[in-house]
Chain A
C-alpha cells in the first residue's frame, strides 16, 4: 500500500529550469526518483511505454515545442490508464485564468515558477509533502487541488 519512494517526472523544454529543479529536489532529502523530459511528446511516449511502472507525480511546463503542457494534460486526464497520476502544472504564468483553466481540465496542482532557488525548494517541498499525504492517507484525490 505504501510506496516509500515518490516517482516524479518533470517535462520542461528549458534546460536551466530542468537543472534548477533537479538540484532543488535533490536538496530536499526526501525519497524521490526524478526522470526529466524536454517536451510533451517525449513524456507521452515514455508514459505509454511504461504503463506498468507509472510515476506518482508529473510536473508539466505549459509552453513547450512539439507538444505543449495543455495537450499532455488533456491526454493524460482522458486516458483511463493514466488519469490517476497527479499532474502539477509548472509554469511561469500566474494568470488566474490560466490557473483555473488547467484545474478545470484536470490538473491537480498549479505551481508558478518561483524566481529564487530557495523559493523553488520550498515550493517543491510543499507539493511533495501534500502529495505524500494524499498517497498514504487515503484522502479523496478527486478533491485534491493545490495552488502554490
Chain B
C-alpha cells in the first residue's frame, strides 16, 4: 500500500482507497470479457468472472468500503446471459457479488453497450463523480478537455482519477523472460488507475505510443509509477527514469 496523500492510498491489485470517505475507486473491470470474446468467435474456455469476483471480494474484505466508484468499463460487452451457464448475465453476477455496497458507475466506452441496464437495476450512473477533492472520469474523452480539469485539480491539491488506459509496466529478468504488471501512474493533479480485470495484460508505459495520452496531462519526469505484485504495491520511480533504465539494460 502506498499513501499518495492524507486521504488517498493505492492498494493492490489496483484500486484507490479513500480512507476517510470509506470509498474504493476501481477502473476497467471488463466483466464478461471472456464471454464477449467467445461471442466474437474466439474459442476460449468458459470463465464466469471467477477471478474478477475473487479480487473484488478480497479487496472488500480488507477495506470494508461503504461505496465503490467504478471509473468506467464495468463490463466488456452487452449483458447477455449465456444459456450454457444459466440465467445470470455477467452484470448480474457482478452486482450480486457487490450487494450491500453502494455502487456508483462512471460511464466508460464499453459501458455504452449496457443501455439502461444499470439504471434499470438501480445503480447510480454518471459521466463523472466528485468525492472531496477527487473527481473520477473514465478517460476516453479528448485529452484537451481533461487538461484544464487536471490543472484545476492541481491548483486545489485535488486529483483527477482516470481509468481507461490500463497502465502497466514490463519487468525483465534479463534472460528473455518478462512479465507485465499492472501499474498506477500519478503526478500533480492526476491519478491513472490500472485495469482491475485479471485478464487485462495492460499497456506497457515504456512504449511511448501507450504513454502519450497520459504524458499529454503530466510531464514524464513528474509522472510516478508503482506496480502491483501480489498483495504489494511497489513504487518504481518516474516514467522518464524507468525508460532510461530500460534502455540502458
Asked whether A and B interact, the reply is no
A interface with B by C-beta (< 8 Å): none
B interface with A by C-beta (< 8 Å): none
